[in-house]
Amino acid sequence: MSAQALIVSTPLCLYLIRHGETEWSLSGQHTGRTDLPVVAQGEHDAMELGKALKSTAFDSVFSSPLQRAQRTCELVDLGPPVRLEADLAEWDYGDYEGRTTADIHLDDADWDLYRDGCPRGEVPAQILARADRLLSRLRALSGNVALFSHGHFSAVLAARWLGLPIACARHFPLGTSAFSRLGYAVHHPGVPVIHQWNVMLRDEIVRAAQRAC
Active site residue 90: yes
User: Which of 21, 90, 97, 122 does the annotation list as catalytic?
Assistant: 90
Identity of the amino acid at 90: E
Amino acid at position 73, single letter: C
**What gap in Å lies between CA 123 and CA 19, rounded to an integer?**
23
Could you give phi then psi for residue 108, rounded to 5 degrees? -145, 90
Q: Is 19 a catalytic residue?
A: yes
Listed residue (119, 125, 127) closest to 99, CA to CA: 119
Query: Which residue, 4, 28, 53, is CA-closest to 196?
Result: 53
Is residue 174 within 8 Å of residue 151, measured between CB atoms? Answer: yes
Mind telling me the catalytic residues?
19, 90
